Structure 1
Amino acid sequence: MNKQEISQKNLQEPLQDRYGRRFYYLRLSVTDVCNFRCDYCLPDGYRASGHQQPELSTAEAETVIRAFAQLGTRKVRLSGGEPSLRKDLPEMIRAASQTPGIERVAITSNGYKLPSVIDTWHQNGLDQLNISIDSLDTDEFARITGHDCLPKILTGIDRALELGVQVKTNAVLLSDGAQARLQQFLAWLKTTPVTLRFIELMQTGDNRDYFASNHLRGATIEQQLIDSGWQLLPRSIDAGPAREYVHPGYAGRIGLITPYSKDFCDSCNRLRISAQGKLHLCLFADAGLDLRETIRTGDVQAVAERVRALIGNKELSHYLQRGDTGGTQNLSIIGG
């Protein structure tokens, strides 16, 4: 067997790290820019860095997606920042949906433009939509995000459901008012067929004081759900990190993402590429591993081989429990 045959054989084997974890899920950030000012992420709004590299082009993003598809990726999530700020986002969706091996294309968005873009996204191959909604109270939503646009976002979600797009909503758990927000969400889920995912607030380089004042363990909410008859669902191999629950009395589901639980990283199945073409083996790694020059060549196999070579550097776990947030200053940098 010659070198090329050996290389091709390796690319056909699922991407696996030294701890036996296999990776079926790529989170591809398409921009760092965000137009929201969420308290826990960018309270002062987005500020551009003077020395930052340009964002990946559509062609470069397609090279990345095709390379990961060769490595066994089944699901691609386009994230940000706020991905809808990219005018070429529909072309990126189409490129991902038309890549052999990619079974599901998802977007995480704040929903600000949703009513005007969801039809186009769907036409280009969008399968799943994640929208950040931290509160169903319009005033509180505006206070958290800096934008009074909750009704518009909910209208966009209704349209996505009409189109058959699978919808999930993300809500960061915040200690103050958590029970009131939970009751609002439960009432909404009675008749709304979405999956609401409670995400435990994570400490980043920029939010240490906010984290200390607002962190709430997801286990607190999870036990309440279990006591109320919610049942845990089996997890698919390309699923995100949430543990999802169902209840016969509700049209919607509830998921919990609890990064401070001791076994959280055991089931890691996802890798991240930043908008500048850096591979992040963990959301809280010290730094990304630069793939930009290889990506620019358009050589899909070379990118795949580079990723396979670097996967050996992935750690067993993040170190959030000891307050080590790595190089993540805020979650818009790499899309959470």
Structure 2
Amino acid sequence: MNMPTHIPLRVLPADDVQLRNDAAVLQDRFGRRFSYLRLSVTDVCNFRCNYCLPDGYQCTDTPVPLTLEEIGRIARTFAAMGTRKIRITGGEPSLRKDLPEIIRVLKSTPGIDTVALTTNGYRLTHQIESWVNAGLDQLNVSIDSLDPQQFRAITGHDKLQEILSGLDMARSLGLTRIKVNAVLLRGFNLTEFPQFLHWLKDTDVSLRFIELMQTGDNEEFFRAQHVSGDDIRARLLQAGWVQKARSADDGPAQEFSHAEYAGRIGLIMPYSKDFCSTCNRLRISAQGKLHLCLFGEEGFDLRPLLQNDDSVSLEMRIRELLRDKKATHFLEEGKTGAVRHFAMLGG
């Protein structure tokens, strides 16, 4: 694969890093604005996905996850700086018993227009109603295969049919913004592409194919299983799929639609040229660390600033740290940063 060696971003003069007429909006020195926050509420996961936690979650002595009060302070501060969308991630966020309360706190925060949730779907049929009642706007569910045996081989759980039933329940409750995530794996689900397309004929979801990314502990698996999203993109365009325009608070997916399909397809291709040039998201870990990039540093601890309602100090610290955000993730150079696996930050 020919990989880019740089991301052509325009560096703004120092005086222009802060927006002149809209100082509330977060912006880095490359002119990228950040209206989207990915908020991890736990790093615990109960799945054993072969591309993330093949040996299952390993309990560590990490600090307790963010409290409801700390989450509220984060939401209010980021909303004041122009964040309009917050995605709750894990690990697996449904393992938190107070997840409905977390959704309710985020949804009631002035300025937050969209509260999204990414889940493996394990508890979807049991909890989706409480999430919707709490104000959930958007649901992302990981389904890496539509074949029950292959699904179990990838995740370690025989839960496919129950998760698909959970999607039906979500739609019956009026939740229309539903996305399904599938990590592309050469030896596991690549041959299922026609089956995925058949499913989308009558299923109104956005199916996002995600390129497998190299992390600190999956180098051998990555080399054996990585599939370029460019190959899928070429197949879609040849079959008449049309790329849609990207909204300001959208994630990194390139989304495609087709007149003959109820569903849509998204491609997340972190190895593609200029992938980082449209970055609009920051990440907070379950322990309250700000991560400027999924594949960046260990994270910057904000938790001491979350112990009171001093939002001014918290905002100043976030703005200060944002100056160090790099132009690219350097994945094309084989650098994976501090991320050992995706459960650490929810991808």
Q: What TM-score results when the alignment is normalised by the length of structure 1?
A: 0.95
1:26, 1:270 within 8 Å by CA — same for their partners in 2? Answer: yes
Secondary structure of 2:336's counterpart equals coil
In 1, the alpha carbon distance for the partners of 2:70 and 2:64 equals 12
Higher mean C-alpha deviation, range 303-312 or range 198-207 = 303-312
Alpha-carbon spacing, 1:289–1:11, altered in 2? closer, same or farther (3 Å): farther
For structure 2, the residue ranges without an aligned partner over 5 or more in a row are: 1-17
Residue from 87, 103, 107 that aligns with 2:113: 103
Residue by residue over 1:248-267, the C-alpha shift from the partner in whole angstroms, topping out at 9 and shown as x without a partner, is: 00000000000001210000
Task: Find the partner of 1:146 among 151, 156, 163.
Answer: 156
Gaps of 5+ in 1: 1-6
Give the deviation of 1:10 after TM superposition: 9.3
- Residue 3 of structure 1 corresponds to none
| Secondary structure at the counterpart of residue 323 of structure 2 | helix
Asked if residue 270 in structure 1 is aligned to residue 301 in structure 2, the reply is no
Please state whether the residue corresponding to 2:236 is helix, strand or coil: helix
Cα distance in 2, alignment partners of residues 145 and 38 from structure 1: 4
Instruction: Kindly provide the CA deviation profile for residues 35-71 of structure 1, in whole angstroms up to 9, marking residues without a partner as x.
Output: 0000000000000222x11110011011101110011
Paired with 1:209 and 1:177, the residues of 2 have a C-alpha distance of: 15
- SS of the equivalent of 2:150 reads helix
- CA root-mean-square deviation: 1.4
The aligned counterpart of 1:218 is 229
Go from structure 1 to structure 2 and tell me whether the alpha carbon gap of 1:177 and 1:57 turns closer, same or farther (over 3 Å shift): closer
Is residue 56 from structure 1 mapped to residue 38 from structure 2 by the alignment? no
Query: Structure 1 residue 180: deviation in Å?
Result: 2.5
Distance 2:242 2:21 in 1: 40
Give the whole-Å Cα distance in 2 for the aligned partners of 1:152 and 1:210: 28
The structural deviation recorded for 1:30 is 0.2
> Which deviations, in whole Å up to 9, do the C-alpha atoms of 1:121-155 show, x marking residues without a partner?
00000000000000000010011000001011001
- Which residue identity does 2:315 align to in structure 1? A
Match of 2:78 among 64, 68, 73: 68
Partner of 1:4: none
1:324-335 correspondence runs (5 A)? 324-335=335-346
Q: Is the 8 A contact 1:40 1:207 kept in 2?
A: yes
Counterpart CA distance in 2 for 1:195 and 1:303 is 36
Once the two structures are superposed, residues 84-118 of structure 1 have per-residue CA deviations (whole angstroms, 9 ceiling, x without a partner) of 00001111100110001100000000000001111
Find the partner of 2:103 among 84, 90, 93: 93
Alignment of 1:5-154 (within 5 A): 12-50=23-61, 52-154=62-164
| Contact preservation (8 Å) 2:154, 2:188 | no
Is 1:17–1:314's contact at 8 Å kept on the other side of the alignment? yes
Counterpart-to-counterpart distance in 2, 1:201 and 1:47: 22
Residue pair 1:24, 1:73 contacting (<8 A) in 2 also:
yes
- Report the residue type matching 2:313 in the other structure: A
**Deviation (angstroms), 1:176:** 2.0
What are the equivalent positions in structure 2 for 1:221-260 lying under 5 Å apart? 221-260=232-271
Q: Secondary structure at the match of 2:265?
A: strand
User: What is the total number of aligned residue pairs between the two structures?
Assistant: 328
SS in 1 for 2:178: strand
Q: Percent identity?
A: 55
**Displacement, 1:299?**
2.3
Give the TM-score, by structure 2 length.
0.92
Maintained 8 Å contact 1:229/1:247: yes
Shifted more, 234-243 versus 163-172: the winner is 163-172
Deviation track 1:199-223 (CA, whole Å, cap 9, x = no partner) reads 0000000111100100010000110
Q: Which has the higher helix share?
A: 1
The letter of the residue matching 2:235 is Q
